[in-house]
Amino acid sequence: MSPDDEVCLCFHVTLRKIRTYLARENPPVASLISECLGAGTGCQWCVPFLKHLHAEHQKGREPDLRVSPEEYARTRLTYHKTNERDADVVQKATGE
């Protein structure tokens, strides 16, 4: 993802905003990323991705998601219909 791509589509929270929040606040748990403009508190789609970004930050790496914003947004819509995340996209984006 590019820094200006949105990680939390519900609240339009970009990767850059999350990186800045992580660097500035160094939250001990991923759930505190919700303090960054409400990220993760809507449909919940982005929660595993926020956890990944937090884990990357904790490891001293630059937080990133290895997925295009188009695929990320498209699979979110499927998640809204099925209430299940595409495991392949989660794995691809997070490498986990």
Q: Measured between alpha carbons, how far is 64 from 49 in angstroms, rounded to an integer? A: 9
Q: Measured between alpha carbons, how far is 36 from 39 in angstroms, rounded to an integer? A: 6
| CA 94 vs CA 25, 63, 81: distances in Å | 22, 10, 22
Which of 60, 70 has the CB closer to ligand FES?
A: 70
For residues 22 and 31, is the Cβ–Cβ distance under 8 A?
A: no
Least Cβ distance, residue 59 to ligand FES (angstroms): 23
Least Cβ distance, residue 39 to ligand FES (angstroms): 6
Which of 1, 46 has the CB closer to ligand FES?
A: 46
Which of 29, 60 has the CB closer to ligand FES?
A: 29
Which of 33, 56 has the CB closer to ligand FES?
A: 33
Q: Measured between alpha carbons, how far is 70 from 41 in angstroms, rounded to an integer? A: 21
Site of interaction with ligand FES (CB under 6 A): 8-10, 40-46
Least Cβ distance, residue 23 to ligand FES (angstroms): 20
